[in-house]
Amino acid sequence: MGRRRVPQALTPRALPRFFVPPATLQTRTLPDAVAHQVSRVLRLGMGDWICLLDGVGGVYLAQLGESGRIESLQPSALATELPFAVTVLQAMARPEKAETAIRLCVQAGARAIWLAPSERSVAQLEPAKQQSRESRWQRIAQEEAELACRARSPEVRVLSDWAQAFAGLPRPVFVLDEWEGATPLKQRARRMPMPDALSLVVGPEGGFSPDERAWMTSQPETYAVSLGARVLRTEHAACYALAQLAALWE
C-alpha cells in the first residue's frame, strides 16, 4: 500500500497506536483528534511512524507525511486478542468504580463490557445521562485498548434492564458468585473445551439478592462460580476472572 519499507525495529508494540475509522485508511488523512495527539502531544513529524487500528482486527504501520497526511501505509499484525470472545456484564456501580472495571476488563482482554443496574446496585443511572455516560465509557475503553496494544476496540453498552441484558449474553455464562457451594471458576472451566465465546457476570457491592441469584442460575448454560479464597471488589472481579481464564486457555 506504500512504497517505503518499514524499519525492522518498528513493531505495533513499539509505536503509538490509534483506532481510526476505516475511511482514514482510504483517504490517508488522520482524524483531527488523532492529528492533534500526534503533532501537538507526541511531537511527531514527517517521517515518523505510528500504528493505526481499524477496530476489527486490522493493523497498519503508517509513516507520517505533511499536514496530517499518511505518506506510507503497511499492513501488520497483533496477536494480542484472547482466543475466545468474552462479554462482561457488570452490575452498575458509581462512575469511578465503573470506569475502573472498564479499564481493567479492557487490559485483560474483554471483547465487550455491558453495564446494567441489578437489584442491589447502589448507583442508578438516570435515563437522560445514559447516552452521554455510554459515550464517555466507550472513549475510555478505546484509549485503554490503544495502550494495551489491543487489535480490536471493545464495545461498551449501558443497559437499563438487568434481565434483558442477561438474556442477551453469549453462552456459557459464569456468574461470579461467592455463595456457599459455588464451583471454583478454574475447576468449572477445566471440565469444558474452550468455547468461541463466553460471558462473565459481576454483581454489585452488596452481592446478588437470593431471588436474583436463583433466577440467573436457572437460565440456560449458566454456572455460579467462585474466584477463590479471597473476596474481591466489584470493579476488580472480572479482571481477576479473565486472568484465570487466560492462564487456562490462552
Residues in CB range of 32: below 8 A, 6 or more apart:
none
Residues 50 and 160 in one domain: no
Contact between 239 and 108 under an 8 Å Cβ cutoff? The reply is: yes
d(C-alpha 95, C-alpha 102), whole Å = 10
Using alpha carbons, select from 188, 171, 199 the residue that is nearest to residue 226: 188
β-bridge pairing 17-19 and 59-64 = unpaired
User: Sign of the C-alpha dihedral, residues 113, 100, 151, 50?
Assistant: positive
Q: Which residue has the higher pLDDT, 129 or 63?
A: 63
Using alpha carbons, select from 119, 106, 108 the residue that is nearest to residue 211: 119
Residues 63 and 128 in one domain: no
Residues 234 and 134 in one domain: yes
Answer yes or no: is 5 within a domain: no
Residues 91 and 152 in one domain: yes
Answer yes or no: is 6 within a domain: no
The last residue of one of the domains, among 76, 109, 132, is 76
Answer yes or no: is 1 within a domain: no
The last residue of one of the domains, among 25, 51, 76, is 76
Domain with 130 in it: what CATH number?
3.40.1280.10
pLDDT band at 5 (very low <50, low <70, confident <90, very high): low
Q: DSSP of 156-213, one letter per residue? A: EEE-S-HHHHHHTSPSSEEEE--STTPEEHHHHHHTSPPPSEEEEEE--TT---HHHH
Say what the pLDDT of residue 128 is.
84
One-letter identity of residue 228: G
> From residue 87, how far is each of 108, 182, 190 by CA, in Å?
12, 21, 19
Residues 44 and 153 in one domain: no
Residues 58 and 97 in one domain: no
Answer yes or no: is 7 within a domain: no
Residues 187 and 207 in one domain: yes
Residues 214 and 129 in one domain: yes
Domain of residue 57: give its range: 12-76
β-bridge partners, 51: 17, 61
pLDDT band at 146 (very low <50, low <70, confident <90, very high): very high
Say what the pLDDT of residue 180 is.
78
Burial (CB < 10 A; 0-12, 13-18, 19+), residue 44, is middle
d(C-alpha 240, C-alpha 222), whole Å = 19
φ/ψ (deg, to 5) at 174 = -105, 115
pLDDT band at 47 (very low <50, low <70, confident <90, very high): very high
Burial (CB < 10 A; 0-12, 13-18, 19+), residue 170, is middle
Q: How far apart are the first and last CA of the chain?
A: 32
- In this predicted structure, the answer to whether residue 27 has a pLDDT above a threshold of 50 is yes
**Length in residues, the chain:** 250
How many domains would you assign to the chain? 2
Residues 121 and 159 in one domain: yes
pLDDT band at 67 (very low <50, low <70, confident <90, very high): confident
Domain with 45 in it: what CATH number?
2.40.240.20
Contact between 166 and 40 under an 8 Å Cβ cutoff? The reply is: no
Helix (H, G, I), strand (E, B) or coil at 237: helix
Give, for 147, the enclosing helix (H) or strand (E).
helix 127-147
The last residue of one of the domains, among 76, 102, 121, is 76
Residues 51 and 95 in one domain: no
pLDDT band at 157 (very low <50, low <70, confident <90, very high): very high
Residues 95 and 219 in one domain: yes
Answer yes or no: is 142 within a domain: yes
pLDDT band at 7 (very low <50, low <70, confident <90, very high): low
Answer yes or no: is 29 within a domain: yes
Answer yes or no: is 220 within a domain: yes
Answer yes or no: is 3 within a domain: no
Residues 154 and 240 in one domain: yes
